[in-house]
Structure 1
Amino acid sequence: MKPMPVGVDIAKSVIQVHYVDKETGEVVNKAIKRAKFLEFFANRTACLVGMEASGGAHHWARRLISMGHQVKLMPGEFVKAFNIRNKNDVADAHAIWRAVQQPSKAVAVKSEMQQAMLALHRMRSQLMKFKLMQTNALRGLLAEYGEVMGAGAASLARAIPEALSRLSERLPAVLIESLREQFNQIDALNQRIDALERRIRELSKNDLAVKAISEISGIGFLTATAAVASMGDAKAFRSAREFAAWAGLAPRQVGSGGKINLHGISKRGDQYLRTLLVNGAHSVLLHAKKPSAWVTQLKERKPINVVAVALANKMARLIWAVLAHEQPYDRDHMRAKPA
């Protein structure tokens, strides 16, 4: 017997539930307090619970699965198509109930360890943004007084003491002190970022999946840990291309009447993971002593940024292949041609 579908709209304090009772045919729309949510499902036969893959969804999914229910997490864009009229909790739960019954690809439920790794990466990403904002602001302020620094953090660190010394002869001391404080804040951010990277490395040191994909050129420990944590279960993706498309590294398609035009990458999925992959691809292009023939030929025909994205797409496919097939990375592997 098929499990009864239930649509659940998650909120901070009140969770909306929508389902049709199999025995009576009654349409139930019920708001449940957060503390009573698990109690509502405790003594029920196994249900197919649909939820948007939003904040807190993975936590509730793990708890419901442990109680014997099936859980299907769905992207918000997919659910949005089933919301016909108004936008409120009742309508959202109804839309989720409709969506969970449709054949579609579910979002893999992440473990607590995977979410812990992603939490460290999110904090690092936030600090990187703060650092970039503070650095650009400091460079702009110094440029107003004729002090232009070279590109890169190292150039800024070397030039800032002499620049402030020169400016102190003609500018107010309060401004010089404020500029020095901002530079010290950038240094403090660098120390916090380094500490987070050490914690990420420590947390992943025994992860076999991270070690396996770290063998791929351009995949460092940051990209490896982010990829393993972001994708959840590699087998949730049907193919390597599907994972690359999920990461936003496949071209957008616009077509009609049987004619399809390919545009730039779709930029779907996780922007942070995609950025790491593209940066890793640029590193390979800049520092590889013996680039592959495929990369060399592509560089002759395409701009460097296009080549980097194409290489990042290939790296994403390799990550999926290694994790989905549970085999070590072989640089010289040749795919067997079908008979």
Structure 2
Amino acid sequence: MKHTIVGVDIAKNVMQIHWVDADSGEIVNKPIKRAAFLEYFSNRAPCLIGMESCGGSQHWARRLIEMGHQVKLMPAKFVKAFVTGNKNDAADARAIWMATQMPSKEVAVKTEAQQAVLALHRMRQQLVKFRTMQINSLRGLLTEYGEVMGTGRAALDRAIAGVLERLSGRLPAILIDTLREQWNGLEALDQQIAQIERRLHAWMKQDEASKAIAAIPGVGLLSATAAAATIGHAKSFRSGREFAAWLGLVPGQTGSGGKVQLLGISKRGDRYLRTLLIHGARSVIFHAKDAGAWLDQLKKRRPINVVVVALANKMARTIWAILAHQRPYQKGYESVRPAPAR
């Protein structure tokens, strides 16, 4: 059965919908209040509803799917190409309606549990950012008084006690006390980050997908839980190559006149997961005792950063294979492409 295509521009209070009646050709483009949004679709036959992947889209997608509708979440960058004329809610809803009909890679609709895990990752990432800002702020303030410390948390912890003691005779006590409080506040951030990691570890023990991909060299607690929650349903990707391309771990392209030039990695998709995989790949290259013949040969032919990205790409494809085929990780496993049917 062919579903009616509806474009929805979601917002906090007012949703804009756009669709075309198949029988009369009437163009419908109107706003709907948040309270009446689900009621509007509950009285309709199953539709294909397109939305931008933004704040609140996962919630609305889950609710609409429960009603029997199909939902297509799309990156905002993909929808932007279809906006014509002035930008407003009506134009955005029309652009989403047009983009829904174009072939594109959808953003996976995640369960509430998967979204909860990603929320823990985002909060941990924010706390790490705050901690780094605090460390750099302390180093910068103390540089103004002639005290230069090395980069990093360990160098700060080693030097700051002596620095504050030397400056206590020159600077007001109100500043020294505040600097010491800011330094002690780093420990509170450490505890919050550690607590989130313990909760992620407890969740990974109960999640079979996370435990399976954690066996891959270079995939640890953060990479395993983030990958399992981000990928959603592995079968939504046709292959491991498509998953790696979706993460931006493939070269970008530019060209004209039949000549195509390969650039650096495209950096599309989920930046957080891509960063974790690249850091994991770098850890394998520099610390693994037996990295494997494939990696050893590649290191002889390519620069180290190219090798890191290549290994991260391979790790992404391995993650997809484990989740899609539901098999444990096997070191040295070689996939064999089936012979074409005659």
TM-score tier by shorter-chain length is: over 0.9
The question of whether the paired residues in 2 share the 8 Å contact of 1:50 and 1:96 is answered with: yes
The answer to whether 1:22 aligns with 2:19 is no
Sort the Cα spacing of 1:157 and 1:252 in 2 relative to 1 into closer, same or farther, 3 A. Answer: same
Q: Which amino acid aligns with 1:77?
A: K
| 62-71 vs 278-287, which moves further | 278-287
The answer to whether 1:107 aligns with 2:132 is no
Matched residue, 1:38? 38
Deviation at 1:186, TM superposition (A): 1.8
Q: Once the two structures are aligned, what percentage of the paired residues are identical?
A: 65
Tell me the secondary structure at the aligned position of residue 7 of structure 2.
strand
Q: Quick one: distance in 1 between partners of 2:289 and 2:274?
A: 24
Matched residue, 2:283? 283
Matched residue, 2:271? 271
| 256-265 vs 156-165, which moves further | 156-165
Runs of 5+ unmatched residues, structure 2: none
The answer to whether 1:260 aligns with 2:260 is yes
Q: Quick one: distance in 2 between partners of 1:306 and 1:213?
A: 23
The answer to whether 1:310 aligns with 2:284 is no
CA deviation vs aligned residue, 1:80-127 (integer Å, no higher than 9, x gap): 122121111001111111121223222211111110011110111111
Q: Quick one: distance in 2 between partners of 1:175 and 1:308?
A: 45
The question of whether the paired residues in 2 share the 8 Å contact of 1:243 and 1:317 is answered with: yes
Deviation at 1:263, TM superposition (A): 1.3
Matched residue, 1:176? 176
Q: Quick one: distance in 1 between partners of 2:147 and 2:281?
A: 34
Tell me the secondary structure at the aligned position of residue 248 of structure 1.
coil
Sort the Cα spacing of 1:58 and 1:291 in 2 relative to 1 into closer, same or farther, 3 A. Answer: same
Matched residue, 1:4? 4
CA deviation vs aligned residue, 1:124-157 (integer Å, no higher than 9, x gap): 1111111111111212223333433344323322
Q: Quick one: distance in 2 between partners of 1:250 and 1:103?
A: 20
Tell me the secondary structure at the aligned position of residue 171 of structure 1.
coil
The answer to whether 1:324 aligns with 2:324 is yes
Q: Which amino acid aligns with 1:254?
A: T
Matched residue, 1:248? 248
| 171-180 vs 273-282, which moves further | 171-180
CA deviation vs aligned residue, 1:232-265 (integer Å, no higher than 9, x gap): 1111111212111211211111122222111111
CA deviation vs aligned residue, 1:255-302 (integer Å, no higher than 9, x gap): 222221111111111111111111111211221112222222333333
Report the TM-score when normalising by structure 2. 0.94
Q: Quick one: distance in 2 between partners of 1:149 and 1:312?
A: 34
Q: Runs of at least 4 residues of structure 1 off by over 6 A? A: none
Matched residue, 2:68? 68
Q: Quick one: distance in 2 between partners of 1:61 and 1:167?
A: 58
Report the TM-score when normalising by structure 1. 0.95
Tell me the secondary structure at the aligned position of residue 291 of structure 1.
coil
Tell me the secondary structure at the aligned position of residue 84 of structure 2.
coil
Q: Quick one: distance in 2 between partners of 1:144 and 1:283?
A: 36
Q: Quick one: distance in 1 between partners of 2:299 and 2:337?
A: 27
Tell me the secondary structure at the aligned position of residue 6 of structure 1.
strand
Deviation at 1:330, TM superposition (A): 0.6
Matched residue, 1:166? 166
| 270-279 vs 302-311, which moves further | 302-311
Runs of 5+ unmatched residues, structure 1: none
Q: Quick one: distance in 2 between partners of 1:229 and 1:218?
A: 18
Q: Quick one: distance in 1 between partners of 2:146 and 2:124?
A: 33
Matched residue, 2:334? 334
Tell me the secondary structure at the aligned position of residue 30 of structure 1.
strand
Tell me the secondary structure at the aligned position of residue 284 of structure 2.
helix
Matches within 5 A, 1:197-216: 197-216=197-216
Deviation at 1:337, TM superposition (A): 5.3
Tell me the secondary structure at the aligned position of residue 205 of structure 1.
helix
Deviation at 1:68, TM superposition (A): 0.9
Matched residue, 2:125? 125
Matched residue, 2:144? 144
Q: Quick one: distance in 1 between partners of 2:90 and 2:132?
A: 42
Tell me the secondary structure at the aligned position of residue 2 of structure 2.
coil
The question of whether the paired residues in 2 share the 8 Å contact of 1:125 and 1:272 is answered with: no
Q: Which amino acid aligns with 1:35?
A: A
Q: Which amino acid aligns with 1:323?
A: L
Matched residue, 2:228? 228
Q: Quick one: distance in 1 between partners of 2:132 and 2:266?
A: 25
